Each structure stands twice: as structure tokens, then as C-alpha cells.
Structure 1
């Protein structure tokens, strides 16, 4: 039944969430598909006694090349970002594969911490960025493996700059560029704090035709901290300083206290201090493979797309 709900995605991608917790009949459990590799994530203890049965069912139904369980909770029940893992089937090499998403392809590695390299719940946002990027210069802040930039370049962006603090992650982004036969332009990869890059752009008077802002809920760097709860709108106001008058702006967060509606309202208010005609194009949560989005901490996303000029018709 859960698999059938995702039928409309099959022609679009081979990377999606097969089971999203209680709304698909398995409370505290998420099952993700990446091509023919699968991961089972446990966010709650309800079904831990049946973990062998669940793994056996995934193997029986899908015959995966690789299957791993990730236990994202400590003995106290607290979620962990670096979980214990149990490989049920396949070797280390089988954990690495290539997935397709529309016109793009991405490297993933199911043994690389919590996320294999592609956030499934931002698929709709990536497709929309691709559709808006032709002839534009794009800035992808907190870029992770550069999936937004790959879609932007495929969509015709003249340049898509990726800023991330991790050199290892940016190298995965370069691999994704190469996988999609994208020639890397000068300055497309910046290793450093996204806020430092913003400050540099403001000093240089640089502007972008589209900006993607998807920071972690909390981070610490060089003794400085960032939290979505207290600092997100300050960051939005800084982004506003480098937007061109006809730019689009995608802002998103997985912070569970946000809703798409509250994020859209607050971000529009901040943006209109610089661009009074700015308007919301859409505000949404996770895609159709995430039923119950926003009802649980482990299944939360708020995203808003805004048009700075107020003239966009879609």
C-alpha cells in the first residue's frame, strides 16, 4: 500500500521514501530507496523488537543490492545524527550507487552517516529551481553535495556558486557536476562559512539572480553559533542585500517548530524591507512520499519560494 502511494514518482526518480512512519503503518520507522539500495531508519523504539522482520520484508519485496538499518536514537531515546548502523545485505562497495532525479543524476553512499548525499524531501524545490534558472547566476548556500546547483546548471544557469564549510562535501558536489557532464565554472565552489561568503559578496557588491538558503537547524563554527530559531531571519535580511531586482529566493528549514505558513510569513516580511513588491510563489512541506509531514519531529520541512520583483506568474 505504501509503495503504491508513490507510483507517480516512479517515472520521475528512483530515489524516494517508501515508508514514512506511522502514516504508512510503521511508527518510528522510515524506509528510503536509492536506486536499488535501501536504508531503514529507526526514530522511535516501538518497532525495534521487529527489526529483523522488517529487514527481511524489505529484502523479500525489493531484492536490494544493499540494505542497512540506522538507529537514530540513544538509550535515552534522543535522536542521533551519527547513528549505529547494521548492514543486512551487501558489501561496502554496494552501498555506493547513482540515482536519477528528473534530468539529474547523483552519487549516494548509504554508509556515509545519516544522509547518503541527497535530501529526498527537497525534490520539489530542486525541480522548481531548475525551471527558474535559465540564464541566471545562482547562489547555493549551505550547499551540502550541491544538488540544487546541479539542477540549476542543468536548467541553464550560467553559474551556480556553492558555499559549504566542508571540503569533503564540496568534493562530492564536484563529483556530481562531473557525473552530469557540467563544466565547472570559476568560483563555483567556496569552502567556508556561508555567512562569511555572504559578507564577502556584500563588500564586493555582488548580486545573484537566485539564492537557495537551507541551513542546518543548529551549527557551530569558529566559536560562533547559528540557530534557525533565533538567527534565520537575520540571515534572510543579509541574503536580501545580494539579490538582484528580479531574483527568486528559496528558503527552507527542517526545524520542527517552523511551519510552511509561519516561515513564509516571516520571510516575506523580512524580504519586503528591501523589496516591498516581493511576493510568495508557494509555501509547502515535504513531498507526496512523506505523508504526515510536519506532524512529527523526524518528518518536518518548511520551504517557501519568493519572487523579489513581484512579477512572476508561477
Structure 2
């Protein structure tokens, strides 16, 4: 077992439950051997925690246990999966929703691994070669805990943290795709065998429900960075008079049509546009096109031919553009999954945007991660989702 000495300033952080190993924390020791179990010690040689080495965009490894005598083996993984499943009992029993996160990385005690449940089918996502080295033990532990129809996997650990192309099927019976899953009574088409994305982001479940139940009725809705149109589907189900979905990817059109069709919605009565969102905002300003409800859930970082967008630098300007095309007393749903800043900072971007526009506003409600996306108390960046529902005044 490798020993890694942690600098004094970071030792206390680890004692308090911080699970991520980063290179700037290391005083001495080799942290490059992916999959190696290591012991973290303080500069005096006292035990701090044990974990595994695995490079991903966040760091060099994850701490798994603060018990010096606990072994990291199949029994350890089984215990973590059992605990995760027990925390999702309400989701297993919910007859309106059968797509949810079963295991959320460090929030369930194993950073670098997520497991999603789709109507009895499971998707494992491995975020480093280090955690993938434990694949057989983890899969065997999982099989002892839960029945399954099939298991698929995604590998997200090439040099840039991108998706590794491979056959995603692991075991069970290969289903016909798309899988049709339920979310709060609505339906989504999901693909576990088609690249990095499945067709729906599960962490936005509560936001979609709020749009349907509280904000959509009678509204003309714009969904930017729309992906497969999930927000638009819920807005239409909630009685929106029209939805406009805008995304730069060509495949967003057939994907969005499919999701509308899954829910008996006439997609021809909706607008589904392949556009650069920023250019579309400019088009709307020039042509005096306005919306009652504007939803913005951009990636943390995005690049098109004419624009580079970074949430930490550019979200304020995105809100300013949204203000320009939102009707008086309209609603803006501003969302980000950027882990580099917290809700307080996010609200400051919104405040600056409205001040610079000379406009007043009220934040009606906020959302963070839903209950199935468990987070670790000692690791605030793990609670990455920040959503503000803003009423313009």
C-alpha cells in the first residue's frame, strides 16, 4: 500500500471529511499509480484516511474510509451499495418515477463512480482508470444487492475526461432501445447504448416538475441549450401555449421530436431550432420576439464558432440577454451545474445582471440537487446544481 503525506494545512480538511485528493495537497508520495490503494498520513505520520488513486478532471484520487482497520475490498463496496439502495427506497416504490440515481459518487462513499437506474436497467459510469480497476469487485458486489434487467457502462476517463467509445453492454438481457422511463408521470426515451448521453439529465427532475406544475400554464416558453427538450416537454404538459427549443446540435431536433411524441404532444405545434443560442438571443432582440418563460441550463463550458461560454465568467451576461427577451412579469429559470462557485455567487451574477439592466426582480424559489443525488457533508463542491426561478418585476 502506498503512503502519501498530506501537507499540514490540508490534513485537518481530510479529518473533517474532505474526500478528494489533489496534487497540491501532497507533501510526499507517488500519486500517479492509477488504481493503487493508498493511506493518507499527516506530516507527523498519523493516519488520516485510505482511498484509491485515480486521475479525473477534479483530482488525483478519492478517500474512501476514515477507519484505519477497514479494508477496501468487495465487502466494502457491497456495504456502500446496500446503504445507497436503502436511501432510495422511496424511489423504488414510486409508481410515477422509475429513472433516478442509485449511487452518487462521493455522496454515497465512492468518488469517481455513479450508478443510474432506468426502469430496472442500470448504467455504471466510471470517471477514472483508477476506479475502473475495481470494476469486477464492484459489479459482483452490486449483483449481490440488487436484481437487474441489464447493466450498461460508460467510461469517462480519456486524457480530457471525455467519453471512451466502446460497447457499453455489460450483462443481463440487451433491451430494445429506446427504453421508455417515467418521471413524475411523464415519459422519456432513454438510450444506454448511444454515446456519452442517455437522453435526459436526472438531476433536473424537481425543476421540470415545478415548470409543469407552477410556471407553464398559458405561457410562451423558450428553452435554451435544450438538448432533448425535456424542459419543453414538461412545459407543454403544464399547459404552455407554445414552446421553442434552441440548441446548437443537429441531433437535438429528432431527439426533441421523440420526447414530445412519447408524451402525445404535437411536436409540429412547437418550434425546435438548431441555432447558436447567443445568436438567437440577438435575433429575438432585433425582431422584438419575447417570451413569458425563459429556461437556461447551459453547460459549464461551451464553444461554438463565434462564442466561448464559461459559466463562472459569462453567466451574468447570459442573464442580461435573457432579460431583454422576457416579457414584463415574466419568469426566468436560471440553472448551472458549475461546481466552481456556490449559490451565493450564482445569485450575485443574477443581481449584477438586473442592476446593470436597471431592472427589478424577485427570486421565487431555488433548487439544488434532488434527494437521490446524495452529497458528502465535507465536500461542498459535490452539491453542484444551482437553479433560481426569477420573476421580473
TM-score, scaled to structure 1: 0.89
CA distance in 1, matches of 2:112, 2:354: 37
Instruction: Tell me by how many angstroms 1:277 deviates.
Output: 3.0
Q: Structure 1's 180 and 56: CA in aligned 2 closer, same or farther, altered over 3 A? A: same
* Contact map agreement 1:268 1:279 (CA 8 A) in 2: no
Partner of 1:3: helix, strand, or coil?
helix
What's the TM-score, normalizing by structure 2?
A: 0.72
2:294 paired with 1:222: no
Unaligned runs of 5+ in 1: 310-314
Alignment of 1:17-36 (within 5 A): 17-36=101-120
Q: Specify the alignment match of 2:13 in structure 1.
A: none
Distance of aligned partners of 1:229 and 1:221 in 2 relative to their CA distance in 1, 3 Å threshold: same
Q: Over aligned residue pairs, what C-alpha RMSD do you find?
A: 2.3
In structure 2, the residue matched to 1:112 is 194
> How many residue pairs are counted as aligned between the two chains?
307
Ranges in structure 2 where 5+ consecutive residues have no aligned partner: 1-82
Alpha-carbon distance between aligned partners in 2 of 1:99 and 1:268, rounded to the nearest angstrom: 38
Decide which of 306, 312, 323 is 1:240's aligned counterpart: 323
Q: Is 1:302 matched with 2:302? A: no
Is 1:287 equivalent to 2:370 in the alignment? yes
Counterparts of 2:316 and 2:259, CA distance in 1: 30
Q: Secondary structure at the match of 1:167?
A: coil
Moved more, 190-199 or 179-188: 179-188
Segment of structure 1 superposing worse, 290-299 or 180-189: 290-299
Does residue 128 of structure 2 align to residue 41 of structure 1? no
User: What aligned pairs does 1:194-233 form with structure 2 within 5 A after superposition?
Assistant: 194-233=277-316
Check conservation: 1:16, 1:33, Cα contact below 8 A.
yes
Match of 2:33 in 1: none
In structure 2, C-alpha distance between the alignment counterparts of 1:182 and 1:134, rounded to whole Å: 15
Q: Secondary structure at the match of 2:340?
A: coil
What are the within-5 Å matches in structure 2 for residues 248-263 of structure 1? 248-263=331-346
Q: Which residue of 1 aligns with 2:98?
A: 14
- 1:118 and 1:112 map into 2 onto residues whose CA distance is 13
- What is the distance in 2 between the residues matched to 1:92 and 1:34? 13
- Higher Rg of the two aligned structures: 2
